[in-house]
Copies of this chain bind each other. A is one copy, B any other.
Amino acid sequence: MKSIKVFAPATVANVVCGYDVLGFAVNAPGDEVTMNLVDKPGVRISKITGDDGRLPLDASRNTVSASVQHYLDHVKRNDVGVEIELHKKMPIGSGLGSSSASTVAGLFAINTLLDDLLTVKELVPFAMKGEELACGYGHADNVAPALLGGFVLIRSYNPLDIIKLPHPDNLHAAIVFPEVDVPTRDARQMIRSKVFLKDAVTQWGNIAGLVSGLFMKDYDLIGRSMTDVLVEPTRSILIPDFYKLKEIALAEGALSFGISGSGPSVFAFTKEEETAAKIVAKLQQHLNKLNIGSQTYVSAVNNQGPKVIG
């Protein structure tokens, strides 16, 4: 029996001025999938841990098994039997690409077990199918960085055009997940469908600045480009004391501060790990005062994507 254990990373999408087009991966948290090839054809979920019973064991409804099935259909290997254990090691509904981490771990596992029938980049559309099942919209800004590592630009969906961007080595993310509920579907519906052109111009000046800063490894340019005049003003309403949290992070030396995905997680960029550690401690302290529990993570930008851990 062939068996493998894979870790795939959490991701921050909608990176401030990069709404819907930019995401990056972190080293922690992330999800783990153990996959066994078995004789009986078909894809089954044998076990899920760490989800408090929230995720479906039904293989057609679970994003991991559904995307693995989709992959097997594509590579014409429906003779293969797969048993999946999913170990959730990160919070669900946190805005950190939870479903994406699981799906990517599963796809990376089956592709590795089948001797890399596809390249990692070719796995993106299958992972997007999983996202469609999980949140009603097949976006790529979590799954692409989870698969490729680093910063990833989704230039276009039609045709799909994914570009991996460089980043400065010491760029760290300070991430805080306040334990309040913000369903992705609701967060998406809050956003206005029309915006002022002048605000859009501000936004694309900023994403051009952010991309330039990543290539130039210019921390200051990265920081001052990370302003969102379009989405943050609305979405921040769903996050407890968002602007106070931002003020605290910037006062502690953050380069930037924003919402991760559709929230409620927030993240700051820093030049050093220590600054990130200080920031998450201060933010958690403030949320404690509001009687809101939180989980915190400090991580460099993950440059590798998924990895085999057993």
Contacts and interface: CB of A to CB of B under 8 A. Distances in A.
A192 B215 CA distance: 33
Interface in A163-208: 163, 165, 191-198, 200-208
Given A196-B193, A204-B204, A153 B209 contact: yes
Contacts of A191: 197
A22 interface: yes
A187 to B, nearest CB: 14
Interface stretch (A13-21, A43-51, A108-116, A269-277): A13-21
A225 B194 contact: no
How many of these chains are in the complex? 2
A208 B206 contact: no
Given A156-B206, A195-B200, 8 more contacts: A153-B212, A155-B209, A155-B224, A155-B225, A204-B204, A207-B207, A208-B211, A212-B215
A233 to B, nearest CB: 13
A19 B208 contact: no
Interface size range on A against B: 35 or more
7 contacts: A21-B201, A153-B212, A154-B205, A156-B202, A194-B196, A197-B230, A211-B212
Interface in A1-51: 17-22
A221 interface: yes
Given A208-B153, A225-B155, A197 B192 contact: yes
A164 B183 CA distance: 41
